[in-house]
């Protein structure tokens, strides 16, 4: 009587949802619209990321297993040293605890949870497709905003594509679309069924348009650098073929259909126009960079403390800095936002955490990059071609490290940064990542 129940019970256990769905839920929630007047409050995705960390901890307690290898614990835990010192040196206990919690979420806790919840390459593929799907959704909203003139204000016209993130987070859609494009390119370059790789390649081409309409110079640069790295890692011949296809698509979109030709050309030209009549946004950026460097010179080892940049900005910034940036459109009213960060993650860490914090954070990131690239090249030599999860994980890390030269953490899309570091850690630090047969 009991024997028929055993297969049934086994089948029920096999149908148990995979743990990675907790991370997929974090990504999916970023499709929700941000309130027009939200000045940077917590997004539902942030709350779910905390639940994912708790869920991961409960699984570890239930299974009674060691959470991380020694190498993973060292690499992921290294930033805690600089964060603790900077939190003690903050202007107030509240600022120190708030900054500490945010940094731990983005660079330690959520990446560790992703590392532990992702079991195999199939889970990485699921996460990559979810990020690509999110990018397609946000990109479609952004293109609609451009076509209908309902986007954020750019040069006095409501045409800037911002997706559901609103004008207060103009980098949100650009970040999501860029990361989705990187994931899709990784899926297209790796081993897998031809139909799946063709679909991924189609996503790459489709996401070029909303990325262009985001008018985000930093996202353009980071995406171009990352895609070039991914293609070169896949092989020079394939890199040339894919690059030719992308250039052809860009010519058709911009040259043939005239998609934002004049404004895109002006925006592209402004990337290199630093000394020769730069626009105010470029002036503000370099002025804040100089202010961050001044804070570091004042306290080179420990910095001015977590969340200390806004308080020390005016004492180190020149008169060229404007009083704030103007935002309007996309369902929100006119608002002038103060410039509270240098828009450069490395300089922000250097200013607030000093050499101790930058060495700890950058050392952790560099270790992930070196180990990840070494694993990718090793898999390519051993198997003839690297798996798609290697291209995805390494590509996401390269994009983040490049984008950090033009942006820092902040806004709802920041939780994706944590997911990216988690995927990079899974490939770089998880030995099982390269032992599971390719799928």
Lookup: tokens for 41: 């409050």
How many whole angstroms from its chain centre is CA 197?
23
275 vs 6, 35, 222, 279, CA distance in Å? 74, 38, 22, 10
Strand, coil or helix: 362: helix
Lookup: tokens for 339: 């410039």
Lookup: tokens for 67: 């959470």
Query: CA torsion 281→404→189→111, rounded to 10°?
Result: -140
Look at residues 165, 73, 182 and name the one whose alpha carbon lies nearest to residue 127: 182
Q: Beta strand 152-154 with 157-160: parallel, antiparallel or unpaired? A: antiparallel
- Using the CB atoms, write b or e for 50-78: b if 16+ within 10 Å: bebbebbeebeeeeeeebbeeebeebbeb
Give CA–CA dist 160/154, Å, rounded: 6
Look at residues 128, 157, 131, 71 and name the one whose alpha carbon lies nearest to residue 364: 71
Give CA–CA dist 349/306, Å, rounded: 9
Q: Which residue has the tokens 């020694």?
A: 70
The sign of the dihedral angle between the CA atoms of 188, 189, 193, 194 is: positive
Lookup: tokens for 309: 């940049």
Lookup: tokens for 8: 């049934």
The tens-digit pLDDT sequence of the chain (439 residues) is: 444 544 544 444 556 788 999 999 999 999 988 765 554 567 899 999 999 999 999 988 887 777 788 888 899 999 998 999 999 888 888 888 999 999 999 999 999 999 999 988 999 999 999 999 999 999 999 999 998 988 888 777 888 888 888 888 888 899 999 999 999 999 998 887 889 989 998 999 899 989 988 888 889 999 999 999 999 998 877 778 767 776 776 666 555 555 555 655 566 555 555 445 456 677 778 888 999 999 999 999 999 999 988 888 888 877 767 666 666 666 666 666 777 788 899 999 999 999 999 999 999 999 999 999 999 988 888 877 788 899 999 999 999 999 999 888 888 889 999 999 999 999 999 754 444 444 3
Radius of gyration of the chain (CA): 22
Q: Which pLDDT does position 11 carry in this prediction?
A: 45
Q: Which pLDDT does position 1 carry in this prediction?
A: 44
Strand, coil or helix: 107: helix
Query: Angle, to 10 degrees, between the axis of helix 217-234 and the axis of helix 261-269?
Result: 80
Give CA–CA dist 153/161, Å, rounded: 9
Q: Which pLDDT does position 6 carry in this prediction?
A: 47
Residue-level length of the chain? 439
Lookup: tokens for 326: 């103007």
How many whole angstroms from its chain centre is CA 317?
28
Beta strand segments in 101-160, E:
152-154, 157-160
Strand, coil or helix: 437: coil
Strand, coil or helix: 199: helix
Q: Which pLDDT does position 331 carry in this prediction?
A: 62
Please give the angle made by the CA atoms of 75, 81 and 86, to the nearest 5 degrees: 135
Q: Ramachandran region of residue 329, left (φ > 0), alpha (ψ -120 to 50) or beta? A: left
């Amino acid at each position: 009587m009991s024997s028929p129940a055993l297969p049934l019970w086994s089948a029920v256990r096999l149908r148990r949802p995979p743990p990675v769905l907790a991370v997929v839920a974090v990504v999916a929630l970023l499709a929700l619209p941000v309130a027009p007047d939200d000045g940077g409050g917590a997004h539902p995705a942030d709350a779910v990321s905390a639940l994912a960390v708790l869920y991961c901890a409960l699984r570890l307690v239930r299974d009674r297993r060691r959470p991380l290898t020694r190498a993973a614990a060292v690499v992921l835990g290294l930033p805690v040293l600089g964060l603790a010192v900077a939190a003690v040196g903050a202007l107030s206990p509240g600022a120190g605890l708030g900054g500490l919690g945010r940094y731990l979420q983005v660079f330690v806790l959520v990446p560790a949870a992703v590392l532990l919840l992702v079991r195999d390459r199939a889970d990485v593929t699921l996460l990559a497709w979810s990020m690509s799907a999110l990018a397609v959704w946000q990109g479609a909203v952004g293109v609609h905003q451009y076509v209908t003139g309902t986007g954020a204000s750019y040069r006095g016209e409501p045409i800037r594509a911002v997706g559901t993130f609103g004008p207060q987070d103009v980098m949100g859609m650009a970040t999501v679309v860029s990361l989705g494009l990187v994931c899709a390119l990784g899926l297209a370059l790796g081993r897998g069924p031809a139909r799946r790789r063709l679909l991924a390649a189609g996503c790459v081409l489709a996401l070029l348009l909303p990325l262009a309409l985001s008018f985000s110079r930093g996202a353009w640069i980071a995406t171009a650098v990352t895609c070039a790295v991914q293609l070169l890692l896949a092989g020079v011949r394939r890199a040339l073929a894919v690059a030719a296809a992308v250039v052809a698509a860009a010519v058709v979109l911009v040259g043939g259909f005239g998609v934002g030709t004049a404004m895109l050309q002006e925006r592209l030209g402004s990337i290199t126009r630093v000394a020769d009549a730069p626009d105010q946004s470029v002036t503000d950026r370099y002025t804040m960079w100089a202010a961050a460097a001044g804070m570091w010179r004042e306290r080179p080892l420990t910095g001015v403390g977590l969340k200390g940049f806004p308080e020390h900005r005016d004492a180190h910034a020149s008169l060229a800095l404007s009083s704030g940036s103007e935002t309007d459109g996309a369902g929100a009213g006119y608002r002038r936002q103060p410039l509270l960060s240098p828009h450069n993650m490395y300089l922000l860490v250097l200013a607030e955490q000093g050499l101790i914090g930058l060495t700890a954070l950058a050392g952790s990131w560099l270790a992930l990059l070196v180990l990840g690239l070494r694993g990718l090249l090793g898999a390519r030599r051993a198997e003839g071609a690297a798996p798609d999860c290697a291209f995805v994980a390494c590509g996401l890390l390269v994009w983040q490290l490049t984008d950090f030269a033009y942006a820092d953490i902040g806004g709802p899309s920041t939780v994706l940064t944590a997911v990216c570091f988690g995927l990079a850690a899974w490939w770089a630090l998880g030995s099982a990542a390269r032992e599971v047969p390719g799928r």
